[in-house]
Amino acid sequence: MEILHSQILGQGEPLLILHGFLGMSDNWKTLGNRFASNYEVHLIDQRNHGRSFHDDEFDYEVLADDLFRYIKHHKLKDIVLLGHSMGGKTAMFFAVSYPQIVHKLMVADIGPRYYSAHHQDILDGLNAIDFSVQTSRGAVNDELEKYIPEFGVRQFLLKNVYRKTKEQLAFRFNLKALTDSYDEVGVQLPSLSSYTGDTLFLRGANSGYITNEDFSLIEGHFPNYQVVTVKNAGHWLHAENPNDFYDYVVSFLTV
């Protein structure tokens, strides 16, 4: 099996960072460079994302197994694991499956519960792109705007557009596999699974992904947990308020 692509920055205790759905490791480059002053930071592209391999199979079990192979390949031990959204769910699945490898766990704006499908407009917009018709980034943006009015969301998605050949653009992510397996993204953590290490949940003050009602379920899976709320931030809390996000993470890791 292939090994996940990553960017490795700095030296020290290994800190592995997992991006969210339709994201990539580049989304974390700025914060990754800040963390790299004290840690060996691994910015990882999950399968079907970024520069990692494409595969029809896509669920949290295989995402966790990909990460396990990556850790073995790089001979890492006692890792610190941070994941955002889908990457946070991958991190939870990994921690309950391989608790002996994870020194500390951090989950950004996602809980262990089931989440119903809510990216359908985005997937419809992406699947409407025909790169034989939309031959420039501007044309791709114009087509996406019919489905996705939010400028920031379109900018995030356009980071995945690259020049496959001199004449043709393409998406870095495996759109077909992600569309076909989309129901897998919202699944909940298996009941009775647990990780007893120190766990930090970070939630955006303006996001509804982690509510106070989720705390009892979180505690059932992660008994040594704490929750912090990042002010002036929604679901993209690490991008919307990177300074507070960074401070919360460093404070948790240095206790």
- CB-based burial of residue 215 (10 Å sphere; 0-12 exposed, 13-18 middle, 19+ buried)? middle
Report in angstroms the alpha-carbon separations of 226 from 10, 28, 94, 145. Answer: 27, 23, 19, 39
Q: Known catalytic residue: 54? A: no
Catalytic residue (choose from 19, 42, 84, 235): 235
For residue 84, list its beta bridge partners.
108
Q: Known catalytic residue: 85? A: yes
| Closest among 216, 251, 245, 240 to 107, alpha carbons compared | 245
Q: What is the phi-psi region of residue 148: left when phi exceeds 0, alpha when psi lies from -120 to 50, beta otherwise?
A: beta
Q: What is the phi-psi region of residue 232: left when phi exceeds 0, alpha when psi lies from -120 to 50, beta otherwise?
A: left
Neighbours of 186 (CB within 10 A): 17
Neighbours of 134 (CB within 10 A): 18
Name the one residue in this structure whose structure tokens are 């700025």: 30
Query: Are 145 and 128 a contacting pair, CB within 8 Å?
Result: no
Catalytic residue (choose from 85, 207, 221, 238): 85
| The pairing of beta strand 198-204 with beta strand 225-230 | parallel
Report in angstroms the alpha-carbon separations of 129 from 49, 143, 178, 210. Answer: 18, 7, 15, 33
Residues forming the active site: 85, 235
